[in-house]
Chains A and B, each alone.
Chain A
């Protein structure tokens, strides 16, 4: 795109996703995380939770299964998908999130930096997602830096 800085402030249409116990188990299994709190309510309760909690990176599931695919995002941002790298990722958990909770996500581009380099420059596009639960409480925040090589 002509001026990538114009992406700052871009907001995606909000999306929602209901947390499912099976999806939590599936993500933990794919990672090979055998922590019993992701498998059984009893183990989770022993660890101080009301029910099975989500792994720290589970919000990715909410974003991809509930929100936009990679290709859809690239179209919205007008970026070339083959030039993209995942630069940084941050998850901040404010409240416990359990199966049955419905998260609604507001996603917004909060910063764009253009860097020049000897081997060609790059754009660093930072997006912030805010996850509210069905009670309207802010339950988590994530920040993603996408690298777009020139």
Chain B
């Protein structure tokens, strides 16, 4: 992918995730080291009045997956999000995004949002990436 391939306002293809399962929350707890029982122990969720909720960072991980599906991981330098709404097991998350800004130094800034199938926003943020330019590629080619 080249810098010239993207224009401000372009949307990226939607990444549709499978519904979140309780087993996935157990796996995420172990992988991440976040053992807050609100994510894995039913009774604690009930006492808190929320029921079991997914780790916000699991949703951010899906956001990261979306971004690095659109733009190669090697080119992505920054990801910043705000957690807006709790996610429960059974919900299916979709990651959507678009190009917000293009800068002269080949940097692009994109918007990325995680929402459920009802369109409720769970996590919203921005990312930054630096993409190679076709122009530079041609210059290098001509020098050879």
**Interface status of A90 (Cβ within 8 A of chain B):** yes
Nearest B residue (CB) for A25: B31
B residues in contact with A33, CB < 8 Å: 61-62, 64-65, 68
- Cβ B30 vs Cβ A88 within 8 A: no
Q: Given A27-B32, A60-B32, A64-B33, verify A86-B56 contact (CB < 8 Å).
A: yes
Q: Per DSSP, are chain A's interface residues mostly helix, strand or loop, or mixed? A: mixed
| Interface residues of A, count at CB 8 A | 36
A-contact 0/1 string along B7-46, CB 8 Å cutoff: 0000000000110000010011011111110000000000
**Interface status of B57 (Cβ within 8 A of chain A):** yes
Interface bracket on B: 35 or more
**Interface status of A12 (Cβ within 8 A of chain B):** no
- Cβ A82 vs Cβ B48 within 8 A: yes
**Interface status of A99 (Cβ within 8 A of chain B):** no
A-contact 0/1 string along B61-86, CB 8 Å cutoff: 11011011100111011111111000
B-contact 0/1 string along A86-110, CB 8 Å cutoff: 1111111110000000000000000
Q: Per DSSP, are chain B's interface residues mostly helix, strand or loop, or mixed? A: helix
**Interface status of A32 (Cβ within 8 A of chain B):** yes
**Interface status of B58 (Cβ within 8 A of chain A):** yes
Question: Which 8 A/B pairs are nearest by Cβ-Cβ distance?
Answer: A64-B33, A31-B61, A90-B80, A30-B31, A56-B64, A33-B65, A30-B27, A30-B28
A residues neighboring B (CB under 8 Å): 23, 26-27, 29-33, 35, 37, 47-49, 53, 55-57, 60-61, 63-65, 69-70, 82, 85-94, 143
B residues neighboring A (CB under 8 Å): 17-18, 24, 27-28, 30-36, 48, 56-58, 60-62, 64-65, 67-69, 72-74, 76-83
Between-chain CB contacts (< 8 Å), 23 pairs: A30-B24, A30-B30, A31-B28, A31-B58, A32-B62, A33-B62, A35-B69, A55-B68, A57-B60, A57-B61, A57-B64, A57-B79, A60-B34, A60-B57, A63-B33, A70-B35, A70-B36, A86-B57, A87-B82, A89-B81, A91-B78, A93-B76, A94-B77
